[in-house]
């Protein structure tokens, strides 16, 4: 059977890597960090949080880059808040924004309101002019429960979009085979996902050295250093470090030394649509 790697024109043993600059729209600092990572760094794709406060500004600066929609049902920061664009009551916490944790969301969210909200987020991104390449789920909240996963799968099928799903070892925690269900519907999904937490520069060499054949997505959240970012997010230093990692030479050099090839989410979307 021909693998996705071979269908993309590479040898079957070649590690392919999507490098995603995530959380576009989170803040001005994130918008600028993602732009730099795409224009001058190692990033091949980005993920947009439509309900986040700076998403509209991100769309105004859009220049045809590979951007997917990070379907968002949580606002995890204590004082920096955003909420559903459909104003759905079951998707609000008592503070006027999305619930802070996935477990709180799962306890209270109405599935029909989730369906309307997620479809509205995707359609708004398209209306803003984005050529949406893929779907993902902020904090994995929309893919770790079967009733919400069905909504995401429906969107991926309706719009013929590739999909980020947690790696296979997380299926035991979720309690259902989300990767198999996506594969049965012909949805293109990376084989593995690595979401970088904490400083990335020291971890990159080991991560790249351990790459396996197939498609691996590496997710970082780059941002420039601003006073507002430090007030908004307690992980501001991590975000600034991720930008330095993406715009430095270490990641690109490590991938080249490993014989890995960078691809974009659009490549997977193209496979799916073909």
The chain-wide mean pLDDT, for the chain, equals: 96
Q: State what percent of residues in the chain have pLDDT above 70.
A: 99
219-264, pLDDT tens digit by residue? Answer: 999 999 999 999 999 999 999 999 999 999 999 999 999 999 999 9
Nearest to 5 by CA among 242, 196, 261, 229: 261
Q: What is the CATH number of the domain that holds 60?
A: 3.20.20.370
179-216, pLDDT tens digit by residue? Answer: 999 999 999 999 999 999 888 888 888 999 999 999 99
- Structural domain including 177 reads 4-273
Residue 180, Cβ neighbours under 10 Å: how many?
10
142-172, pLDDT tens digit by residue? Answer: 999 999 999 999 999 999 999 999 999 999 9
Q: How far apart are CA 160 and CA 39, in angstroms?
A: 27
What mean pLDDT comes out for the span 15-20? 97
87-142, pLDDT tens digit by residue? Answer: 999 999 988 899 999 999 999 999 999 999 999 999 999 999 999 999 999 999 99
| Nearest-5° Cα angle at 21, 212 to 115 | 95
Q: Do 98 and 75 meet the contact criterion of CB atoms below 8 Å apart? A: yes
Collapsing DSSP to helix, strand or coil, 46 comes out as strand
Q: How far apart are CA 35 and CA 15, in angstroms?
A: 25
Instruction: Quote the number of domains for the chain.
Output: 1
Summarize the chain as % helix, strand, coil (round to 5). Answer: 45, 15, 40
């Amino acid at each position: 059977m021909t693998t996705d790697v071979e269908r993309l024109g590479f040898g079957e043993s070649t590690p392919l890597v999507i490098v995603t600059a995530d959380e576009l729209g989170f803040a001005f600092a994130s918008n600028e960090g993602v732009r730099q990572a795409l224009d001058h760094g190692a990033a091949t794709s980005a993920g947009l949080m439509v309900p986040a406060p700076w998403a509209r500004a991100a769309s105004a600066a859009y220049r045809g880059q590979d951007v997917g929609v990070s379907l968002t049902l949580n606002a995890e920061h204590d004082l920096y808040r955003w909420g559903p664009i459909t104003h759905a009551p079951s998707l609000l916490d008592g503070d006027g924004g999305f619930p802070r944790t996935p477990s709180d969301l799962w306890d209270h969210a109405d599935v029909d309101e989730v369906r309307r909200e997620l479809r509205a987020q995707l359609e708004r991104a398209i209306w803003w002019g984005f050529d949406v390449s893929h779907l993902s789920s902020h904090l994995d909240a929309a893919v770790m429960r079967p009733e919400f996963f069905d909504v995401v799968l429906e969107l991926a099928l309706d719009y013929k979009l590739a999909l980020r799903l947690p790696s296979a070892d997380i299926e035991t925690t979720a309690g259902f085979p989300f990767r198999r269900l996506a594969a049965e519907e012909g949805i293109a999904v990376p084989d593995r996902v690595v979401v970088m937490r904490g400083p990335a520069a020291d971890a990159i060499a080991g991560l790249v050295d351990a790459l396996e054949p197939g498609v691996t997505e590496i997710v970082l959240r780059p941002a420039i250093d601003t006073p507002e970012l430090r007030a908004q997010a307690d992980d501001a230093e991590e975000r600034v470090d991720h930008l330095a990692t993406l715009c430095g030479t270490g990641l690109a050099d490590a991938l080249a030394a490993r014989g890995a090839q960078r691809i974009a989410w659009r490549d997977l979307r193209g496979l799916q649509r073909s």
